[in-house]
Chain A
Amino acid sequence: MEKLTYRQPGGKIITRALLMLLAILMLVPVAVTFLYSFFSPSEIKAFMQTRGSYDDKAWMAIKLSPQIFSLSQYYEILIRDTSILRMFVNSAFYTVLILLGQAVVVPMMAYALSRFRFRGRDALFFGIIMLMLLPFQVTMVPNVLTLRSIGLLNTIWAVVMPMWFAPFYIFLIRQFMLGLPNELLEAAQVDGAGTIRCYAHIVIPVCRPIIGAAVALSFADCWNLVEQPMTYLSQRVDLQPLSVMFNQLASESAGIEFAGAAIYILPALFIYLYFLKDILAGVQLTELK
């Protein structure tokens, strides 16, 4: 059946229709967030106040165009009251610090685990896999014990430092490096390059797609941080990233929350567009089993 329809263009119409419906479901929430960010704060406020009514005759209006197209939500959050902007900066700060640390630690570890033979390598890799399988509820305990004993709880490093050693990205990049042809490094060795030269000048450039993919995936994690700041920074409201504040913004509803969401989505959108090719290539070229 499948292969018959493969040859008949008409047979793909249902496939396309289903996928179109799916694409709409995936894209609409993002599109509507941007759309609502151009409504005036008073209109959004009035709209959000119609939520939570249990009157069986009343409906929330379906709003698809603003009464007046307005940038005042953006004006409010970017210029008048910068408290949302400050939390946005917190988020960006965490993300940059985490990604920088991972850029040092993760590829080096993956390189050692994939291109070297040394005693205890298999045990180490096994340990990393075990760590990868553990949910956050479990790993937060050792993290807290260490952070508490060195006095880093309720500082930004409590969120940042444990994330530097994320086992999933070590696994991901190691799998990719395992697939690199041996000739590549042997040729360099014949030319007199040592392990460090090989790493910096051959392995890292060749691993560009998977490193790009790892950056994008890790960004997605960092940009949606919730558990870590909530537990490790429970006493520091001023250090919370924007991702934990939307719940509060929605219940207070000052009419500016959609612009807040829109500016929060925007960097993620850029990362998505910039790294899309890398994610696809990285997943395709990695032996992920």
Chain B
Amino acid sequence: MKKLYTILASIEQAGEHMIRLENVSKKFKINGRDDTVIKDINLSINKKEIFGLVGETGSGKSTILRLMNGFIEPDEGSIYLRGEKLDRKTRHQLVKETSMIFQGFNLLSNLNVIDNVLLPTKIRKGNKKENIDKAKELLSFVGLEDFHQSSIRTLSGGQKQRVAIARTLITNPKIIFCDEPTSALDDKMSYEILKLLKDINEKFGTTIVLVSHDISVIKALCNRVAILENGRIVDIVSLTTKEIKPVSYKEALLSD
């Protein structure tokens, strides 16, 4: 009985932490020289949290994101997703419970909007009809119900990012990684994307990890933020997030 309790307790604990990094370091070789990028990172990200990573260019924030989804393997330390250790064997399975949004949207230009959204389901296999219905539902959710058959080149940046968001949502991910999701967008479109991410977090309870160099993006969205400098976490700050409001150019110019 006692053993059962410990098992239950460990499951409970695993459930709380969506992502856990223990003493993670990663070196990259640049011009044949070892150049440490990530140094001894310890970090836990909770369920349903919107967690931010900020830092200068080259501080290693994007690298941490790629370590978290297993695209890059750490040299030292361990990474756990939902309590399971990420390694070469498990990474393809674990990454399927996550998804990612990129700065450059990374849609397939040879597929139309709905086929881009359906792409992750093709990889996983499943009921085709159900998937198509779900893709249509998600495209309505992101405000693109009239664009099912459009080709990607006809869309604006904000619309492309919304297609990418619909694409991440189709597999019901537990975690969404966002790498500078609004950097390529103007303020109004950025606002729409941030609002959408917030809605997703509230509606589906999805954990979101957000990398940005833009403080206003981080402030608008994140519950907690890790500040990175030269591959180390120098501080973790808790934020009380406000309601995201659209700001006109005039307001932005006049505010402090």
- Co-assembled chains A and B: no
Residues of A within 8 A of B (CB): none
